[in-house]
Amino acid sequence: MPFSYVLQLLLVFVTYFFTGRFGLTFGPVGGFATLFWLPTGISLAAILFGGYRLWPAIFIGAFLVNLTSHASLPVAATIGIGNTLEALFAAFLLTRFLHFHNSLVRVRDLLVLTLVAGPLSALISATIGTEALYLGHTISYQNIFSTWLAWVVGDILSNIIVTPFLLSWSIRFSLSKLTFQRIFEAVTVTILLATSYLLIFTDIWGIHGKIAPITYLIFPPLIWIALRFGQRTTATTIMLLSCISVWSTRLGLGPFVKSSISESLLYLQTFMGTVAITSLILAGVVHESNELEKRKDEFISIASHELKTPLTTITLLLQLLKRLQKKKKEIQSLELINKTESQVKKMADLITDLLDLSKIQIGKLELRKERFAMYELVQEVVDNIQRITKKHTIIIEEQTKKKVVADKERISQVLINLLNNAIRYSPKADKIIVSLKATSQDFIVSVEDFGIGIARKDQEKIFERFFRVKDSDNKNYTGFGIGLYIANAIVRKHHGRIWVQSSKGKGTTFSFSLPLSNRIRRKILPLK
């Protein structure tokens, strides 16, 4: 027998036995059915993680816990069989039929564990155990149902609380970066949770009965944890909270205290079960959506890199072709090549936007700051755009000669985006006004058009990723809805601001500000 296997058996047995003995001190119904029963969750997690071969540890653990609690030999053995079957059946159901993943990465894993396999397997051990107690004359006929109920509830709760807790710690994980903000958030939520606990269970401020029931105060901190700290922290918090509240209730504290411990625990555990399922599922949903988001970002990054390479080759080949056709003086072919080139340029711009988007997402957009005269940059960008824009005249209204410290390329990218949007979304107008102002603290650049405008409700979302206005005026324009998101990220990275003023059907003014007192930093600044 390999040593590691023996060690695993020993570990499961010891944890099972001692937590079991401890659980039986919490006023078990019929002497054996306790509502605070950690072994069920421990044995399920053990089988899921270590395999069916760990069953002997569970059987011996359950057998000895009951034997040392004055059950007769056949009763203890039967209960042992019931408890072992319970874990084996739950694990079999989960892995064989319910396609369960131990990492609990999907919400469905939590659902099948807590709502299907957990309750169904609890029925097995509760039925076998209660039957054994009745046939062994340990409980009377009248006590069968109450014993069975306590057994079922205790085991279900264990599967809901203990199994996710253990599974969440049994998988590999990397520590997330500890920032001051994160620590502050963790401390705040812990204080909130502790306060809710004190309010609910100890009534140290004497408000019980004076206001509406306050049991539900436990939800806000738990929801916060589920939303922001992931499944492992949620499962651990629930586990700790459950143990502390069972202990408090046993000491006669809190709103769940009834005439007997078992009755009190029945009320408490039903509440804790609901709390646990809700929080764990919420944490699961958040985890799943974060994962999807990550995968989407990765896809965008890979796709844009892969698309960029052939496009660069196409551009080079087109230039070569152009030179050849020029030599041959093929006017018609040259025209076609020029048209192809402009389409390829459009495509390359879209891909560059996608690449920028992924850089922003992973905090890798870099700024190369330098001192330059903004009016020169504005003039240069306007001239370039004016060269290819026939319909609109771009007027530069106000000027200032002050210099700014910023990433020239990125700021020109913002300007190009605003000007291109102004042209695109004002098909019936013929002018666009650009103005440049300097206050004592900021540079303000504005681009005003007289186009379709943006409704008030959409203005709030205009800088969000992938947002595009969905109304009849906008349906003829294509785009990814990322230009303004990138512009916003660039401006904010410069510690500036971007905003919009618009009136539907009349026109739009986009403005951005850059702080004037910005020292040059020689090193490249990554965008966080």
CA distance 154 to 38: 8
Q: Is 250 exposed, middle or buried (0-12, 13-18, 19+ CB in 10 A)?
A: middle
Within 89-108, the residues that bind ligand ADP by CB under 6 A are: none
Name the residue with the smallest CB distance to ligand ADP: 479
**105, 287 Cβ separation under 8 angstroms:** yes
CA distance 164 to 42: 10
Q: Is 162 an interacting residue with respect to ligand ADP (CB under 6 A)?
A: no
Identified binder of ligand ADP from the candidate list 24, 166, 218, 462, rule CB under 6 A: 462
- Given the complex with ligand ADP, which of 94 and 469 has the nearer CB atom? 469
The residues near 299 (Cβ < 8 Å, ≥ 6 apart) are: none
**84, 42 Cβ separation under 8 angstroms:** no
Q: Is 469 an interacting residue with respect to ligand ADP (CB under 6 A)?
A: yes
Q: Shortest approach of ligand ADP to residue 452 CB, angstroms? A: 5
Identified binder of ligand ADP from the candidate list 425, 443, 450, 512, rule CB under 6 A: 425
User: Segment near ligand ADP (CB under 6 A), from 264-272, 302-310, 361-369, 419-427?
Assistant: 419-427
- Given the complex with ligand ADP, which of 376 and 471 has the nearer CB atom? 471
Q: Shortest approach of ligand ADP to residue 241 CB, angstroms? A: 44
- Given the complex with ligand ADP, which of 88 and 489 has the nearer CB atom? 489
- Given the complex with ligand ADP, which of 258 and 296 has the nearer CB atom? 296
**139, 31 Cβ separation under 8 angstroms:** yes
Q: Is 454 an interacting residue with respect to ligand ADP (CB under 6 A)?
A: yes
Q: Which of these, 526, 387, 507, lies nearest to 453 by C-alpha position? A: 507
The C-alpha angle with vertex 167 and arms to 248 and 287, in degrees rounded to 5, equals 95
**94, 120 Cβ separation under 8 angstroms:** no
Q: Which of these, 149, 135, 136, 123, lies nearest to 33 by C-alpha position? A: 149
Identified binder of ligand ADP from the candidate list 58, 62, 452, 490, rule CB under 6 A: 452
Q: Is 352 an interacting residue with respect to ligand ADP (CB under 6 A)?
A: no
Q: Is 360 an interacting residue with respect to ligand ADP (CB under 6 A)?
A: no
Within 379-418, the residues that bind ligand ADP by CB under 6 A are: 417
Q: Shortest approach of ligand ADP to residue 247 CB, angstroms? A: 55
Q: Shortest approach of ligand ADP to residue 126 CB, angstroms? A: 59
Token pair of 149, please?
């109920």
Q: Is 421 an interacting residue with respect to ligand ADP (CB under 6 A)?
A: yes
To which residue do tokens 């988001």 refer? Answer: 293
Token pair of 490, please?
């660039």
CA distance 242 to 268: 9
Q: Is 512 an interacting residue with respect to ligand ADP (CB under 6 A)?
A: no
Q: Shortest approach of ligand ADP to residue 527 CB, angstroms? A: 18
CA distance 275 to 267: 13
CA distance 335 to 142: 96
- Given the complex with ligand ADP, which of 295 and 461 has the nearer CB atom? 461
User: Packing angle between helix 180-197 and helix 230-250, nearest 10 degrees?
Assistant: 30
Neighbours of 224 (CB within 10 A): 15
Q: Is 451 an interacting residue with respect to ligand ADP (CB under 6 A)?
A: yes
Q: Is 139 an interacting residue with respect to ligand ADP (CB under 6 A)?
A: no
Q: Shortest approach of ligand ADP to residue 291 CB, angstroms? A: 26
Q: Is 155 an interacting residue with respect to ligand ADP (CB under 6 A)?
A: no
The residues near 371 (Cβ < 8 Å, ≥ 6 apart) are: 403, 404, 405, 520
CA distance 324 to 158: 77
Q: Is 482 an interacting residue with respect to ligand ADP (CB under 6 A)?
A: yes
User: Segment near ligand ADP (CB under 6 A), from 123-131, 175-183, 326-334, 476-484?
Assistant: 476-484
Identified binder of ligand ADP from the candidate list 58, 138, 449, 491, rule CB under 6 A: 449
Q: Shortest approach of ligand ADP to residue 461 CB, angstroms? A: 9
**How many helices, marked H, and strands, marked E, lie in the chain?**
16, 9
User: Segment near ligand ADP (CB under 6 A), from 28-36, 102-110, 240-248, 468-476?
Assistant: 468-476
CA distance 164 to 168: 6
Q: Is 484 an interacting residue with respect to ligand ADP (CB under 6 A)?
A: yes
Number of residues that bind ligand ADP (CB under 6 A): 22
Neighbours of 302 (CB within 10 A): 11
Q: Is 356 an interacting residue with respect to ligand ADP (CB under 6 A)?
A: no
- Given the complex with ligand ADP, which of 18 and 467 has the nearer CB atom? 467
Identified binder of ligand ADP from the candidate list 69, 479, 499, 515, rule CB under 6 A: 479
- Given the complex with ligand ADP, which of 234 and 417 has the nearer CB atom? 417
Neighbours of 205 (CB within 10 A): 10
Which spans of this chain sit near ligand ADP (rule: CB under 6 A)? 417, 421-422, 425, 449, 451-454, 462, 467-469, 474, 479-485, 508
